[in-house]
Structure 1
Amino acid sequence: MIDLQEYWTPTQTEFDAFADVSGDDNAIHVDPGFCASTAFGRTVSHGMLIYSKLWGMLKRHNGAIAQVSQSLMFPNPAFAGEELSLRIAEQAPGRLKMSVIRVADGAECLVGEAEITC
Structure 2
Amino acid sequence: MSELTFNLPEDTDAEPCEQVFMLQQEDFDRFARLSGDHNPIHTDPGFSAQTPFGRTVSHGMLLFSALRGLLEERYPGARLLSQSLMFPAPAYADEALTLTVERQHQQGNRLGLSARILRPDGECCLQGSCELALTEARP
**TM-score bin, normalised by smaller chain:** over 0.9
Given the two structures, how large is their TM-score scaled by the length of structure 2? Answer: 0.81
In the alignment, structure 1 segments of 5+ residues that lack a partner are none
Bigger radius of gyration = 2
1:13-38 per-position Cα deviation (integer Å, ceiling 9, x unaligned) = 00001001111110000000000100
Letter in 1 for 2:44: D
Q: Please tell me the root mean square deviation across aligned C-alpha atoms, in Å.
A: 1.0
* Identity value in percent: 45
Does residue 50 in structure 1 map to residue 66 in structure 2? no
SS at match of 2:122: coil
Q: In the alignment, which residue of structure 2 is the partner of 1:37?
A: 50
| Cα distance in 2 for residues equivalent to 1:37 and 1:49 | 23
Q: In the alignment, which residue of structure 2 is the partner of 1:101?
A: 118
Letter in 2 for 1:108: C
Q: Which moved more, 1:55-64 or 1:32-41?
A: 55-64
| Cα distance in 2 for residues equivalent to 1:34 and 1:25 | 12
SS at match of 2:84: strand
Given the two structures, how large is their TM-score scaled by the length of structure 1? Answer: 0.95
In the alignment, structure 2 segments of 5+ residues that lack a partner are 1-11, 135-139
Q: Which moved more, 1:105-114 or 1:3-12?
A: 3-12
